[in-house]
Structures are given as C-alpha cells and as structure tokens.
Amino acid sequence: METMKAMVLSRLCDLSENPEPLSLKELPIPEPRDGEVLIRVSACGVCHTELDEIEGRTPPPRLPVIPGHQVVGRVAACGPDARGCREGDRVGVAWISSACGRCRYCRAGLENLCREFRATGRDADGGYAEYMTVPAGFAHPIPRTFSDIAAAPLLCAGAVGYRSLRLAAPERRKILGLTGFGASAHLVLQMARHRFPALAVFVFARSQGQRVFARDLGAAWAGDTADAPPEPPDVIIDTTPAWTPVVEGLKRLAPGGRLVINAIGKEDGDKERLLDLDYPAHLWMEKEIKSVANVTRKDVAEFLSLAAEMELQPEVQVFPLADANQALMELRTRKIRGAKVLEIG
C-alpha cells in the first residue's frame, strides 16, 4: 500500500493552549471514486478559516481531518466517469469541494448557498497532504501565468475577495474601504485598482507594516482601524476575524453605504464591542450589512481569468508542509504580509 505525508487535525483546541494542533502522519494515498480525480499536491495556501476549524468556530463534521482549501497540483489518476480532467493536468481546488447541483440555489448559480455544500479541508480532506481527491467538476485549470506557489492563495483569498468586491458593487461607488490587510485584502486592492481606476481605496489596519504595504500597493489612504479617513467610504469590505472593525466600519460608512463582511466566522475576543452598536451612529441613514458565504465555481473561474489578465502576483511566505503549525500560529498572532503557502512534495 502506497502512503503519503499529511498534516492531520485530530481534535479541536485553543491554539493559545496548544500551538501545534496538527500532527504529521503517514497515511494511505486515497483512491479516486466515481467522478473524482486524485491530485498530487504541490502547494496549499494557509487560511484563517483553518484557525476557525481548529478552534471550533466552524468545526469539521468528523475528526480526524486534513485541512487546506487553496490547493494546487497535478492530476495523478482519474476515477471512473471523471470528466473534464486528464492525468498530468495542473489544477486547483478551492473552498467549494462539492454541491448538490439540483436545488434552487445551485440552479440559480448560487451553489455557495446549497444545503449540501461541502468545504474542502473541513467536510472533505484537503491539501495539507501530498495527495487528495476531489470531484472532477470542482478542479480548476490553473493559468500558465502563475507558479504553483503563487496560484495557491488565489483559490481562496483571491476568489472570496473577488466575490466580496462584486457584492460591494464598486461600479456605483466613489470610495472603497478595506478593513484588515492580509491575504485577501491585498489582492482586492489590486483588483479594484485594475478594474475601477477611478475608485479611491482607503485601508484600515492595526499594523503599521500593513498600512505601509497598502500604500505601496496604491491605497489612497491608510490608517488605524479606529482612525477617521479623509472622506467616508461608500462601501467597506471587512476581512478580519474580529468584531471591532465591524463596529468601526459601520461608524465610518457614508449614508446609504454597505459593509461587506468577508469572513466565515468571528472570534469572541472582542465580542463586547457589539454592545457599542448605536442605531443613529452605526445603522441609520440606510446603511446595510451583507455577508459573504463561501464561493461558487464561477467565482473561482472568473477570478483566475482576471488574475491572469492582470498578471496578478500575490505576496507570499513559503513554509514546508511540516511547518504548517508555525504558519498557522503566525496567522493567529497577526504576523502577516500577504499570504502564507505550504510547499509540498
């Protein structure tokens, strides 16, 4: 029996108490079932959602599980009736691992809202491993423009950032605000400047280094989370795991503005900030809040095409597979510049 190396989550825990939640294990290489392909993984992005899984904010339905949902590799084998992929194809796998394809949401192009939505690395084993399987229809061709390492964060940080930007309706706005400036926001800023050159982008970030990075990428203004910008943004995309940026963002929005929350969960550390919500200051004047739920295959495909057109190159920090715990801890402690990627195989 052939085996592979994988970083495995066996129990939920608080990373402040257990900084090494994943264990490096030798496991059998999975076999592709009907309609699936086997992927030899070369790179996998590290995402804050993995922290949400490990700490129980969006827990896996079963344990043990292999995390990772920003996966790039080559098709190593095709199961029976697997269509659209051939051995040797370079493909990527995003957060969406499968959906039913039959419900009213799937038929309307909203498979991200499907009740049978399954997430890569949570509901199905993901890319913190040398091999993984996925339904062939959910494996995306990777444009030649990108190396494996550069392509990995595009599959979540980029794709969900693309969906967030679309939900922000930037074509009707004058000023876009980004609160938090990590893997997703630094790609959103570049997308916004490419597609909507008249749109001014303001960045709210706690770290001075992130504010400098934002200005280097073309932000018109960058300040702390609670700073008052030169003008109120018409829309703000929140990419943080915290509640404070939500409360501060609502305060800063222009009348009729929209706050788009790009997060699968929020941590409890500053939950008391919700008690600060004041209707006249935060919600009056027809302000609105819209959440981002997952991504569709269309989001991923459209974003990869746009990223290739832009020749978008994410800022990345590379770690070997065995150092996945270190990458996760740096993410948790906000030691962030761009995206973190595991190099595998």
pLDDT digits (tens, 9 = 90+) for 141-157: 999 999 999 999 999 98
- Report the CATH number that the domain containing residue 230 is assigned in CATH: 3.40.50.720
Check whether residue 62 and residue 150 sit in a common domain.
yes
Could you tell me if 219 and 202 are in contact, meaning their C-beta atoms sit under 8 angstroms apart? yes
Residue type, 154: L
Check whether residue 27 and residue 113 sit in a common domain.
yes
User: Of 209, 207, 203, 205, whose CA–CA distance to 188 is shortest?
Assistant: 203
Six-digit token string for 294: 């997952």
Check whether residue 286 and residue 304 sit in a common domain.
no
| Sequence-separated (6 or more) residues with CB below 8 Å from residue 235 | 168, 169, 170, 173, 175, 176, 177, 253, 257, 258, 259, 260
Please provide residue 36's backbone torsions phi and psi, each rounded to the nearest 5 degrees: -105, 160
Per-residue pLDDT, 66: 98
Could you tell me if 69 and 96 are in contact, meaning their C-beta atoms sit under 8 angstroms apart? no
Check whether residue 308 and residue 271 sit in a common domain.
no
pLDDT < 50 stretches in the chain: none
Check whether residue 274 and residue 315 sit in a common domain.
no
Beta strands in the chain (DSSP E): 3-9, 22-28, 36-46, 71-78, 90-93, 96-98, 118-119, 131-135, 140-141, 175-179, 200-204, 221-223, 235-238, 258-261, 288-291, 316-320, 339-343
Could you tell me if 99 and 113 are in contact, meaning their C-beta atoms sit under 8 angstroms apart? no
- Report pTM: 0.92
Check whether residue 96 and residue 139 sit in a common domain.
yes
Check whether residue 147 and residue 227 sit in a common domain.
no
Six-digit token string for 298: 């269309």
Check whether residue 132 and residue 279 sit in a common domain.
no
Check whether residue 251 and residue 273 sit in a common domain.
yes
Euclidean distance between CA atoms 200 and 218, whole angstroms? 9
- Report the CATH number that the domain containing residue 316 is assigned in CATH: 3.90.180.10
Check whether residue 301 and residue 266 sit in a common domain.
no
Domain span including residue 80: 3-156+295-343
Per-residue pLDDT, 313: 85
Per-residue pLDDT, 247: 95
Count of structural domains within the chain: 2
Check whether residue 213 and residue 327 sit in a common domain.
no
Per-residue pLDDT, 315: 87
Check whether residue 27 and residue 126 sit in a common domain.
yes
